[in-house]
Amino acid sequence: MNADRVSSLFWLLLGLITMYGSVQLGLGTLREPGSGFMAFLAGFFISCIAVGIFLQSIIRYRGTPLQIKVLWAGSSWHRSFTIGLLTLGFILALEGLGFFITSFLLLFCLFKGVEKLSWGKAVLIPALTMTISYVVFNILLKSNLPRGIFGF
Amino acid sequence: MDFFANFMAGFSVALEPTNLMFCFLGVFVGTLIGVLPGIGPVGTMAILLPVTYGIAPTTAIIMLAGIYYGAQYGGSTTSILVNIPGEAASVVTCLDGYQMALKGRAGPALGISAFGSFIAGTFGVIGLQLLAPPLVSVALRFGPPEYFSLMILGFVVLTYLAQKSMAKALMMAGVGILLGTIGLDTMTGMPRFTFNIPELLDGVGLAPLAMGLFGISEILLNVEKTVKQELLTTKVKGLFPNLQDWKRSIGAILRGTFSGFFLGILPGGGAVLGSFVSYALEKRISKTPEEFGKGMIEGVAAPEAANNAASQGAFIPLLTLGIPANVVMAILLGALMIHNITPGPMLVKEHPQLFWGVISSMYLGNIMLLVLNLPLIGLWVQLLRVPYALLFPMILYICLIGAYVINNSTMDVTLMFLFGVVGYFLRKFEYEPAPLVLAYVLTPLLETALRQSLILSGGTFGIFVSRPISATCLVLAAALLLSSLLPMIRKKRETLVAEAEDDS
């Protein structure tokens, strides 16, 4: 599957939705442009460029097109996927467990689960980081980091 | 007399203890991130943006500026010692710098890089101080149509210089403009594309956007690769270049300074362009061009001087016109606007302390960088040994905490993460995020300029071509766009001709 074709179709869809949404906001007139005017121009521009990229992907087909499967070939994509999932988990647990516990868990999972460091390093480095962060943000800067159900 | 008075006034601001401290912090962090591959000045400035909310605007800009030109110094260290550029503008330094290191001349390479950067940076600041005030008087003739056209020219230049596809860079500019419209319309007060989310009424936010696109996505991409760092194990010695090195380098340094400074002023230009052009220039005029790439000291001196001079020159359009020349300047523009300061022709009148204070701080910053980069080279070498496995979790953590403290809101963290994922896919599909951020930052100015121009003209677009400065900018933009298409047309014609001949 040609990557440029897929991406251009995505952008075309985005551009068309933007143009529709902009009309809902109101385009105004050329004498007095409305709230949707700039967004409509942006959506129109995106749609035109998307068509251009799509046509470019067809015209250049005789060369070496960018295939989707090649984009991830030879890469350890599961590592970035894991890190993405862990970060998402951090965001979801942030308010509930509090900033320091969720950060500690995130760092621990990254050092131990993803990077396979020793237990000592995987516990010590996050613990040290959290201690310094607690002093800097809670005590010195008096930041309002979420405390969670455990109160810190 | 004015120049001298401004010079002294600027120094009185720059020498305030708080400003000195943040200048040092900025150049130190800049050098650090320049040395460490994996994060660049844009991501770092985005991460430190929230830190600037609680300090004075002059101090904030001094620190953020220090990060930018500090990174140019630091980037040369990894280029020379590890053959991996610490940041984009140091790519060219790898070519000859690493070769010099392999020949046991890492010390002179590092030394000439630091001294060349210092000389170029100092000349760059002088140029900034001399050119900025006269340009302000030109900028006062700018009205909404001129601003609009100049920003369009800036977009076109930036996309023209895109490393990959120009069409994709233009697409990113369009998406950036779209993102810039999210939030309350400043003219009518109507919410746009907020989907009833109260946090989006103020827009997406520059810090989450930039941290996501440049910080988080960089981490997600880097962890997929295994980069083997071949750190030179020989001790680095003899940091001071000898007389022969100076004789060969001084011309290259001065030429690099000149070319880098003026290329840095161009919208879309910057340190990267300056370094490439200066290297190509040195190779062109050299009596032994075939030796470039094998350890020519001119190949280190020129690009390092150019990238530093360019980083100073890039401040000119920002401070005088309020137009960022590149994405780093866009972050600085965002930082100024967060502090309710609008850069432009009135900046020097309304905020002279900020204007002259920032410029003067660069003299001090360059001195600090010379001190940091030579005696502390041993420290930077040790830092290079820190594996990425330890670095990236800390960078991720700093991004997360930085995003949260902006507004004490999980929404900003969520947005940063979303843009991180978006940035990851954008880069996979070979879309560069820099035009997106530049367009995003410029959109409020662009939209205001467009709408005001149309109101002024009674609804006709003719106003953009009837005014000379505006027309000139648009003609230049059109010429650049056409010139980028011409090679494609010529190549397509050649391909068609060749195919026709094969068929017959």
Instruction: Indicate if ipTM > 0.90.
Output: yes
- Look at residue A42 in the predicted model and tell me its pLDDT: 96
- Mean pLDDT estimate for chain A: 88
Q: Which of A10, A17, A6 is nearest to A42 (CA)?
A: A17
What pLDDT was estimated at residue B9? Answer: 84
Report the share of chain B in percent with pLDDT over 70. Answer: 89
Does the structure show a pLDDT above 80 at B39? no
What's the mean pLDDT in B310-324?
84
Residues B264-302 as b/e (b if ≥16 CB within 10 A, e otherwise) read bbbbbbbbbbbbbbbbebbbeebeeeeebeebbbbbbbb
Q: From CA B191, how far away is CA B176, in angstroms rounded? A: 18
For B32, phi then psi, to 5°, come to: -60, -50
Mutate to test the interface with A, among B195, B223, B407, B410 (most CBs of A within 10 A): B223
3-state secondary structure at position B453: helix
Candidate ranges A134-138, B30-34, B487-491; pick with highest mean pLDDT: B30-34
Q: Is the Cβ of A102 closer than 8 Å to some Cβ of chain B?
A: no
* Nearest residue of B to residue A48, measured between CA atoms: B171
The larger pLDDT score, comparing residue B318 to residue B239, is at B318
pLDDT at residue number B240? 76
Its sign, for the CA torsion B28, B324, B38, A141, is positive
pLDDT tens for each residue of B251-271: 999 999 998 888 888 766 667
Domain ranges for chain A: 3-71, 77-140
Contacts of B299 (CB under 8 A, 6+ apart): B92, B93, B95, B96, B97, B279, B282, B283, B292, B293
The 3-class secondary structure across B130-181, one letter per residue, is HHHHHHHHHHCCCCHHHHHHHHHHHHHHHHHCCCCCHHHHHHHHHHHHHHHC
Q: pLDDT per residue over B354-408, tens digit each? A: 888 888 888 888 888 888 777 777 777 777 777 888 888 988 998 898 888 777 8
Cross-strand partners of A33: A28
Token representation of residue B298: 């001119």
Contacts of B420 in chain A (CB under 8 A): 84, 87
How many whole angstroms separate alpha carbon B175 and alpha carbon A14? 9
| B422 compared with A58, residue with greater pLDDT | B422
Cα B492 to Cα B249, B489, B498, distances in angstroms: 43, 5, 10
Chain B hits for A26, CB-CB cut-off 8 Å, are 190
How does the average pLDDT of chain B come out, rounded? Answer: 83
Q: Which residue has the higher pLDDT, B52 or B474?
A: B474
Q: Which residues contact B272 (CB under 8 A, 6 or more apart)?
A: B88, B89, B91, B307
Tell me the HSE value of B299 on the side-chain side, using a 13 A CA sphere: 25
Is B182's pLDDT higher than 90?
yes
Mean pLDDT confidence for B185-196 = 89
Nearest alpha-carbon partner for B297 in B256, B344, B357, B346: B256
Give the pLDDT score at B143: 87
More confident residue, B116 or B1: B116
Q: Taking residues B279-295, what's their average pLDDT? A: 86
Q: Which of A11, A49, A91 sits opposite B413 (nearest CB)?
A: A91
The torsion defined by the Cα of B292, B298, B304 and B306, in degrees rounded to 10, comes to -100
Which sign does the torsion angle of CA B253, B256, B262, B263 carry?
A: negative
pTM above 0.95, yes or no: no
Cβ–Cβ under 8 Å, residues B96 and B299: yes
Can you give the pLDDT at residue B375?
78
Residue B474 CA, distance from chain mean position: 24
Instruction: Write phi, then psi, for B192 (nearest 5 degrees).
Output: -125, 125
pLDDT of B230? 55
pLDDT confidence of residue B229: 55
pLDDT of B421 reads 95
Q: DSSP states of B234-271 as a string?
A: SPP---S--HHHHHHHHHHHHHHHHHHHHHHHSTT--H
On the question of pLDDT at A105 being above 60, the answer is yes
| Residue A41 pLDDT | 95
pLDDT tens digit sequence for B94-146: 888 888 888 888 888 888 988 888 899 888 888 888 888 787 777 778 889 99
Q: Is the pLDDT of residue B167 over 50?
A: yes
User: The tokens of B148 are what?
Assistant: 């609009």
Is the four-CA dihedral B253, B254, B260, B261 of positive or negative sign? positive
Mean pLDDT value of segment A25-37? 90
- Optimal mutation site among A6, A7, A16, interface B, most CBs of chain B within 10 A: A7
Q: Does A77 have pLDDT greater than 60?
A: yes
Res B497 pLDDT > 80: no
B460–A49 C-beta distance less than 8 A: no
Residue B226 has pLDDT above 80, yes or no: no
The pLDDT of B307-322, averaged and rounded, is: 85
